[in-house]
Amino acid sequence: MFKFNTVAMIGLGYIGLPTATVLASRGVKVIGVDVNQHAVDTINRGKVHIVEPDLDGLVHHVVKEGNLVARTTPQEADAFIIAVPTPFMDGHKPDLSYIEAAARAIAPVLRQGNLIILESTSPVGATEQLAGWLAEYRTDLSFPQQAGDSADVQLAYCPERVLPGHVLRELVENDRIVGGMTTKAAEMAADLYQIFVRGECLLTDSRTAEMAKLTENSFRDVNIAFANELSLISDKLGINVWELIELANRHPRVNILKPGPGVGGHCIAVDPWFIVDSAPKEARIIRTAREVNDNKPHHVIEQVARAADRFKNPVIACLGLSFKADIDDLRESPAMDIVVDLAGRDLGRVLVVEPHIDKLPAKLEGKVEFVAADEAIEQADIVLLLVDHKQFKRVRREKLQTRVVIDTRGFFWSR
């Protein structure tokens, strides 16, 4: 059993901060590291810079107890967990620059016996690439590709698999895939996660663990694409897709997901491209699913444009900006992309409702009006439901009867 008294969390975003906080709540001294000075200052005041249920109270507690402190630069620790962004560049090529920057940042403070865990969703081989960078920066230490189980510093890959809005619970309850570059690395990483994980830690190698994460999200992407493609076909044939799916799902072995305006978030909208990049000839279904989901926002925009033609100067109320319901996360949000496009088309006045943010993102400032739901619907000729926030349940159906309603989530439909 390996002991970890101090853990450094590199990246204090939607995954890094909750993970650091849960570890700290188990009595581990956690050093949170982030380049965002505002995030660091906010956390050190016992507050949070992101929205996640119950996270604020737990952060306040662990900071007050002295088990979590945030910094802009790393310091020595027993283990380092890296949870930084992994976007893609032009051509859907993986961008590992944030991981490389994390490697440069932690290299000076590494010491013999350290464990480094990469949590960022990454293409296959990223953990090995991380180990390669570290070996360049610290030629005085050995790494798994050089010395295997005898290496001075061990590396593992352990992907997160949590649902925004339920992160604190799922961090503890969900099984974890723990992929080591060596057997020793996997065992060390499992010991660390078992400090707070009640689910099972499933040990494998780092490349399989990387592929497992990509596979999970690609599976979901393919199934969402099927639902989105059904919605396109149903629109063309004059069929209510929500009724269609409800009826089809009465088959005991059919479980079709609900369509939407596209796919958002950092994971599902990005990860399948990592597989396509690694095996472009073989990943045919995965590529097609990505293209279907990437094109769905354009279909929604065309629906709005056709509806706008009925009016001289329409008011278009857009309900929701986040990538999914009841959170503030706008990353890779199809709703956001749709509203940005509509704002630049001069179709009419665009009103935006997003109850989980305090102000419009910079790309929408001065181009749309930020209003409450009741005000938006009162003024609207066209109501575009993009996100199924629970607050929108309060919208009275009679208010919608005289409006053109484009419901991308089936939120207002019922049999």
Cα distances (angstroms) measured from residue 41 to each of 13, 46, 61: 14, 9, 16
* In contact, 131 and 143? CB cutoff 8 Å: yes
Q: Is the pLDDT of residue 283 over 80?
A: yes
Return d(Cα 9, Cα 196) in angstroms, integer: 15
pLDDT band at 173 (very low <50, low <70, confident <90, very high): very high
Residue 415 has pLDDT above 70, yes or no: no
Q: Which residues are catalytic?
A: 213, 267
* Residues 6+ away with beta carbon under 8 Å from 275: 123, 211, 214, 215, 218, 283, 286
Where are the alpha helices (H) located in 9-84, listed in sequence order?
A: 16-25, 37-44, 55-64
**3-class DSSP assignment, residue 153:** coil
Neighbouring CB atoms inside 10 A of 362's CB total: 7
What pLDDT is attached to residue 164?
A: 81
pLDDT band at 373 (very low <50, low <70, confident <90, very high): very high
Sign (positive/negative) of CA torsion 198, 199, 200, 206? negative
Cα(83)–Cα(273) distance, rounded to whole angstroms? 19
Please state the length of the chain: 415
22 neighbors 35 (Cβ within 8 angstroms): no
Find out whether 53 and 71 touch, Cβ atoms under 8 Å. Answer: no
| Residues sharing a CB contact under 8 Å with residue 201, sequence separation 6 or more, in sequence order | 175, 176, 178, 189, 190, 193, 194
Strands of the sheet containing 115-118, edge to edge, are 68-71, 29-33, 6-10, 79-82, 115-118, 154-157, 176-180, 201-205
> Does residue 298 sit in helix, strand or coil?
helix
Angle at CA of residue 259, ends 258 and 265, nearest 5°: 100
Beta-bridge partners for 32: 9, 70
Name the pLDDT band for 145 (thresholds 50, 70, 90): very high
Grouping H, G, I as helix, E, B as strand and the rest as coil, residue 205 is: strand
C-alpha to C-alpha distance for 48 and 42, rounded to whole angstroms: 6
Average pLDDT on 140-160 reads: 97
Which amino acid is present at 93? K
Q: What is the mean pLDDT of residues 340-357?
A: 95
Residue 178 and residue 198: Cα distance in Å, rounded? 14
CA gap 201, 2 in Å, rounded: 15
- Range 358-361, long-range pairs (CB < 8 A, 24+ positions): 361/321, 361/330, 361/336
- In this predicted structure, what is the pLDDT of residue 102? 98
Half-sphere exposure of 351 (CA within 13 A, CB side): 21
User: What distance in Å separates the CA atoms of residue 135 and residue 79, rounded to the nearest whole number?
Assistant: 17
Q: What percent of the chain stands above pLDDT 70?
A: 100
Ordered structural domains, the chain, with CATH: 6-199 (3.40.50.720), 253-407 (3.40.50.720)
Band (267; pLDDT cuts 50, 70, 90): confident
Q: Using the predicted structure, report yes or no on whether residue 239 has a pLDDT greater than 80.
A: yes
Better pLDDT: 236 or 328:
236
Mean pLDDT of the chain: 95
